[in-house]
Amino acid sequence: MKIAVIGANGQLGSELCEQYDEKHQIVGLTHADIEITNINSVKKVLNEINPDVVINTAAYHNLPDCEKNPDISFQVNAIGALNLAKTATEIGSVLVQYSTDYVFDGEKKEPYLEKDKTNPLNIYAMTKLNGEILIKNYCTRSFVIRTSGLYGKTICRAKGNNFITTMQKAAKIKDVVKVVNDEILTPTSVFEIAKNTGQLIETEGFGLYHMTCEGHCSWFEFAGVIFKELRLKTPLISCTSDEFPSEIKRPSYSVLENHKLKSVNLNHMTHWKDALIKYLRINT
Ligand SMILES: NC(=O)c1ccc[n+]([C@@H]2O[C@H](COP(=O)([O-])OP(=O)(O)OC[C@H]3O[C@@H](n4cnc5c(N)ncnc54)[C@H](OP(=O)(O)O)[C@@H]3O)[C@@H](O)[C@H]2O)c1
């Protein structure tokens, strides 16, 4: 297949390009190559490539920036998605879009299914949900994949870090590292996402999917594995989110169940702890 990967130098995009390179014809597109908020740019670039599949990893997803600039957030996460949906439909390509666990408010306290009611708490999540809805309505041959807590060899460009590099830095410069134990998520390796997305796009089972590693943990437990594996000696202690007051609302529980992948026998996601240990042993 000919696959155009948008955000090719990002955390997830770079992994997709690397993993699919042998099997597929990959055209990696960076922000310098395409501007997804501009319909003319999207049409011109994608018409020239004429891909079988367009995978969009581009997003405006630094949360404080999203709160400060809701208009930019909406332009990239919603209008960008709409531009891709319209263009993919016009040229007959399948579209893959990534979305977020933050579309939920966290009140359920049990893993969320694809059919569960969304209730985004912040601008980032609202605009990503808008992107999901626009894609669903403007591109029937599309996959929308919600994921969570990503990490990979290339750090997240929008945030300038991932949780692993943040912990490494904190362990270097702090006497004690405090991490919250009352926010629950599923850390997910981009290696696992690329692997499972690759299997999904071989099918015609279009629609909305949850795709995270298996199991869940608190950020403190996530940090615990990183500290142990990397033998970081700085004391790591747990605290509650009250100690890190923030004006940005986030769900305190955002675990996703890969329900739809399981229902079509396509859930090959590894447990978060196994994926993390494997990643740390190979890449650090
Ligand atoms: N990171 C997480 O923990 C997480 C969790 C849940 C869901 N997600 C979702 O997963 C996806 C991938 O995240 P990631 O961490 O790989 O992101 P990332 O590292 O920030 O990469 C995003 C890429 O998109 C490019 N881009 C940004 N705006 C663009 C635009 N307007 N037009 C064209 N390209 C643009 C960026 O280029 P420049 O940097 O040069 O602008 C960058 O290459 C996103 O949809 C995100 O919402 C991420």
Residue 55: give its domain's CATH number: 3.40.50.720
For residue 199, being part of any structural domain is answered with yes
Rounded distance between C-alpha atoms, residue 140 and residue 123, angstroms: 26
**Which residue is closest in CA terms to ligand 1's atom 1?**
150
What is the distance in A from the centroid of ligand 1 to the CA of 201?
20
Work out how many domains the chain is built from and give that number: 1
Q: Does residue 53 register a pLDDT over 90?
A: yes
Ligand 1 contact, 82 CB (< 6 A): no
| CB-ligand 1 contact for 34 (6 Å cutoff) | yes
Span 270-283, average pLDDT: 97
pLDDT (tens digit per residue) in 169-192: 999 999 999 999 999 999 999 999
Q: Is residue 284 part of a domain?
A: no
pLDDT range class, residue 245, cuts 50, 70, 90:
confident
Per-residue pLDDT band at 18 (split at 50, 70, 90):
very high
CA distances from 156 to 59, 175, 264 (A): 11, 26, 30
> 226 in a domain, yes or no?
no
pLDDT of residue 231: 97
Establish if 181 belongs to a structural domain.
no
Q: What domain range includes position 150?
A: 2-160+188-215+254-271
- Give nearest CA residue, ligand 1 atom 46: 59
**What is the Cα–Cα distance from 212 to 195, expressed in whole angstroms?**
12
- Residue 127 domain flag: yes
Q: What is the per-residue pLDDT for 19?
A: 97
Q: 14 CB under 6 A from ligand 1?
A: no
Mean pLDDT for the chain? 97
pLDDT, tens digit, 9 for 90 and up, residues 78-98: 999 999 999 999 999 999 999
Q: For residue range 98-142, list pLDDT tens digits in order.
A: 999 999 999 999 999 999 999 999 999 999 999 999 999 999 999
Q: What is the pLDDT of residues 188-231, one digit of tens each?
A: 999 999 999 999 999 999 999 999 999 999 999 999 999 999 99
Residue 266 domain-assigned (yes or no) = yes
Counting residues of the chain whose pLDDT is more than 70, the rounded percentage is 100
In ligand 1, which atom is closest to the CA atom of 6? 34
User: Is 96 within a domain?
Assistant: yes
What would the mean pLDDT of 33-42 be, rounded to a whole number?
Answer: 98
CA 9 / ligand 1 centre spacing (Å): 9
pLDDT at 284 over 90: no
pLDDT above 90: percentage of residues in the chain: 99
pLDDT band at 62 (very low <50, low <70, confident <90, very high): very high
Mean pLDDT of 40-48: 98
Q: What is the C-alpha to C-alpha distance for residues 147 and 206, in angstroms, rounded to an integer? A: 17
CB 277 within 8 A of CB 221: no
Asked, for residue 196, whether it belongs to a domain, the answer is yes
Spatial separation of the C-alpha atoms in residues 187 and 203, rounded to whole Å: 26
